[in-house]
Amino acid sequence: MNDTFLKVCRGEKVSYTPIWIMRQAGRYLPEYQEIRKRVDFLTLCKDPDLASEVTIQPVEILGVDAAILFSDILIPLEPMGIDLEFSEKIGPIINNPVRDKASFDNLLSYNPDDELDFVKKTIKNLKSNLKVPLIGFSGAPFTLATYLIEGGTSKNFINTKKLMYGDRVLFEEIMAKLTIMIHDYLLMQIKAGVDAIQIFDTWLGIVCPEYILKYILKYVNKLIDNIKSNSNVPIIYFPFNCSYILKQISGVSADVIGIDWRIYIDNASELMNNQKTIQGNLDPCVLFATRDIIKQNVEMVLNRGVACKGHIFNLGHGILPETPVDNVKYFVDIVHKLSQKGD
């Protein structure tokens, strides 16, 4: 197996900068679209054979250095009694959001080995076919809480913030319950065979620093520390839109911190005392530009990434559905070419 990605996660020296792409198994690939013509999104997530196929597609087409399990961060909410659906136009919809004590008390606890057996089967399928590491993942407690409370995506997150500011006891009960569920879910993935995990905190950046530090990061720390007490797989934490608080986030015990494009990668590393491997951080929209512009931006990120303890190349967020596939192939190739280190 090509373990370059894992070595960088652990802070080891390698001969080139590894790359994978968030949402690399997805709508920009015609091969993925062909499968989606036959099945809806949730069915695809729950079919181990099809989920394995779309996970492998970008590895074979692009030559990336890691695969990420095809799934969705909301999948583990369903067995809690959540009525989840996905709309092509709107995105995820939760028909029974949790906004009061009564709805919270209706949430179920469950064993992911039983209720999410299809995820375990997908991982085992993939491990027998992949020649690169497999990344498992989950949403972070706060990010999953926003979906649970809002009932889907949101612009201003009014319901979440009303609960966080107005009923902190219930807010923390929700966060605590989600932390336990995520821990069990990620441990199931690790036992099934994933080589690393990423924790997506997509909506952390909507919160003011004081509340992040007092009421949110403690659950991230508890989650990661408990996983580390049971496993030694590398952990990536991706707090999106949080360059304003990276110094404080550096206290999280993840091996790798993912960053978006809103900060230079070497400045991010410096804020964290150069103690973390950094993942990122090209603006996804650069991939719509000419090859010369793509190359210039890749060179800039690579040159700044030299100052980091370790650098995993990625976009600063998920690849966009309209992205030209040929540009993505060039992007992966040029990262590999420009980052090659001499003997």
Q: Each residue of 43-75: pLDDT tens digit?
A: 999 999 999 999 999 999 999 999 999 999 999
Spell out, as residue ranges, where the chain has pLDDT lower than 50.
343
Whether 95 contacts 83, CB under 8 Å: yes
Active-site entry in 23, 32, 99, 330: 23
Give me the pLDDT at residue 244, please. Answer: 92
Active-site entry in 3, 72, 184, 283: 72
Distance CA 331, CA 101 (A): 48
Give me the pLDDT at residue 342, please. Answer: 60
* Active site (annotated) includes residue 27: yes
Whether 172 contacts 197, CB under 8 Å: no
* Active site (annotated) includes residue 72: yes
* Active site (annotated) includes residue 83: no
Distance CA 136, CA 231 (A): 13
Active-site entry in 3, 10, 16, 27: 27
Q: What amino acid occupies position 329?
A: K
Sign of the C-alpha dihedral computed for residues 42, 48, 54 and 56 taken in this order: positive
Give me the pLDDT at residue 242, please. Answer: 96
Give me the pLDDT at residue 263, please. Answer: 97
Nearest Cα residue to 181 out of 314, 76, 300: 76
Domains and CATH numbers, the chain: 4-339 (3.20.20.210)
* Active site (annotated) includes residue 304: no
* Active site (annotated) includes residue 36: yes
Active-site entry in 36, 117, 168, 184: 36
Nearest Cα residue to 298 out of 290, 236, 95, 170: 290
Distance CA 10, CA 82 (A): 37
Burial class (CB within 10 angstroms; exposed 0-12, middle 13-18, buried 19+) of 326: exposed
Distance CA 335, CA 137 (A): 24
